[in-house]
Amino acid sequence: MNPSPNDPAEFGLWLRRVALECGALEVCCLDLDQPELRQAIAKHAEGVEKWLDAGLGADMDYLRRHLPAKAAPWQHFPGARSAIVISFLNGWGRAPGGRNPFPPPQPGEPVGLVSAYARGPDYHHTGEVILKGIAERLRSSRGEAQFWPCIDSRPVFERFFALRGGIGVLGPNDLVRTREHDVRAFLGVLFTTLPLPERILEAKPRFPCQHCQDCMPACPTGALKPGQPFDSRLCISYLTIEKKGLLDAAEQSLIGNWIFGCDHCSEACPPIEPDSGAIRVGLRWLLTCSSGDLKRAIAGTALERCGPTRLRRNAVAVLVNQNTPETRALLAEVVATPGGSELIREQIQVSCRDPGLPPRTPLGGSPPNPL
């Protein structure tokens, strides 16, 4: 049976088949003209604004700037009538397609950690290819229309739409938990001027989150606490990826050994093998290689969002956290090397100003919450 894209009763089956052929895991479709949906979006936007007013968004000022556009996607994407939401994989951890973009650490070299999701290619590109493929199939079957593919790069409530359409449920770690791959899947939204029939799923995780909640105690910094909203100011992923400028002493201590992202809460959802694919990066290479070599290593990966300077800032903080003769010697070598980023030099000065350095932390762990 070949379902028809023009038969409302068969459209959902057609859309799912097309989405899977284009590389998605699952797909839903929402009618943006529905008054109930618009009311739900407005209520969600109010909740986000209160979260920002409480200071929990840290210095991510763009979240507030983008709020009006997120609350009215039919205006930001003029004439949008429907939203197609997908989940997809991207070489997370040990999944097929993943790779370590860095050279292997040398024996005895200090090591930092990069989140397992960075093993895959840049998920923005992967998701956009999938959404553009769906758009082309819709254009050829339903006629000319406008499409806006959104992969965590435009002002969109991706998680809201995914939850509303039944792609997954919201876990206590503030991530969307999908049926087959839990939180280790990515989301994308395709807005279109086409008025499409809705396809709403029934989210069915393998077991309810309230029977587990291991992600909260797995968080080493207190960003996740029972009964409290997520606090991005304490999140290692925020500190290593989004945080601008210098890391202060408390923030430096919080990141432990992570130089990009954090896998603590995702590894706990549900518990998987101990080695889930976090990337071990030699800090000597990271801090002494040329900027060109580092840019080439991270090209085409999610690490490009962070960039060489911020990665090296984080590496300095990790060296101070580990506080061994080897890491102190490497810091002295970096200080003595001409050139380099002013931010990195300032981070070294801030990190080493206090002679009472933090205690060494085991690889993959973090010191107790100092806040």
**Domain assignment of residue 248, yes or no:** yes
User: CA dist 199 to 102, 140, 149, 202, 276, Å?
Assistant: 42, 20, 18, 10, 33
Domain that holds residue 346: 215-352
241 by Cβ neighbours in 10 Å (0-12 / 13-18 / 19+) ranks as: buried
**Do 161 and 292 lie in a common domain?**
no
**Do 24 and 162 lie in a common domain?**
yes
Residue 290 DSSP one-character state: -
The 258-260 sheet, strands edge to edge: 258-260, 111-114, 279-282
**Do 60 and 184 lie in a common domain?**
yes
**Domain assignment of residue 363, yes or no:** no
The 147-150 sheet, strands edge to edge: 26-31, 82-88, 186-192, 147-150
What's the rounded Cα separation, in Å, for the pair 308 and 293? Answer: 10
| Count of domains for the chain | 2
What are the DSSP calls for 236-284, one per residue? Answer: HHIIIII--S---HHHHHHHTTEEE---HHHHBTTB--S---PEEEEHH
Other CB atoms within 10 A of residue 78 CB: 9
pLDDT of residue 274: 57
Q: 3-class DSSP state for residue 366?
A: coil
**Domain assignment of residue 38, yes or no:** yes
**Do 276 and 179 lie in a common domain?**
no
**Do 26 and 149 lie in a common domain?**
yes
Strand partners, 84: 29, 190
Tell me the per-residue pLDDT of 91-110, one tens digit each, with 9 for 90 and over.
776 666 677 889 999 998 99
What are the DSSP calls for 94-163, one per residue? Answer: TSTT----SPPPPTT--EEEE-GGGGSSPHHHHHHHHHHHHHHHHHHHH-S--EEEESSSSS--HHHHHH
Domain boundary among 183, 210, 237: 210
**Do 169 and 303 lie in a common domain?**
no
Residue 282: closest CA among 273, 294, 292: 294
Q: 3-class DSSP state for residue 232?
A: helix
**Domain assignment of residue 28, yes or no:** yes
Per mean pLDDT, which range of 2-6, 175-179, 334-338 is the poorest?
334-338
Tokens 């432990």, located at residue: 256
**Do 240 and 189 lie in a common domain?**
no
- Two structure tokens written together for 124: 């923005």
**Do 42 and 153 lie in a common domain?**
yes
**Domain assignment of residue 337, yes or no:** yes
pLDDT of residue 371: 31
CATH of the domain at 124: 3.40.109
**Do 219 and 202 lie in a common domain?**
no
**Do 247 and 203 lie in a common domain?**
no
What's the rounded Cα separation, in Å, for the pair 177 and 367? Answer: 28
**Do 232 and 308 lie in a common domain?**
yes
pLDDT (average), residues 248-276: 87
pLDDT of residue 95: 62
Per-position b or e across 288-323, b if 16+ CB within 10 A of its CB: ebeeeebeebbeebbbebbebbbbbbbbbbbbbbbe
Average pLDDT, the chain: 89
Tell me the per-residue pLDDT of 59-95, one tens digit each, with 9 for 90 and over.
999 999 999 999 999 999 999 999 999 999 987 766 6
pLDDT of residue 356: 44
**Do 290 and 149 lie in a common domain?**
no
Contacts (Cβ under 8 Å, ≥6 apart) of 107: none
- Tell which wins on pLDDT, 370 or 37: 37
pLDDT of residue 332: 86
Over 50: is that where the pLDDT of 258 sits? yes
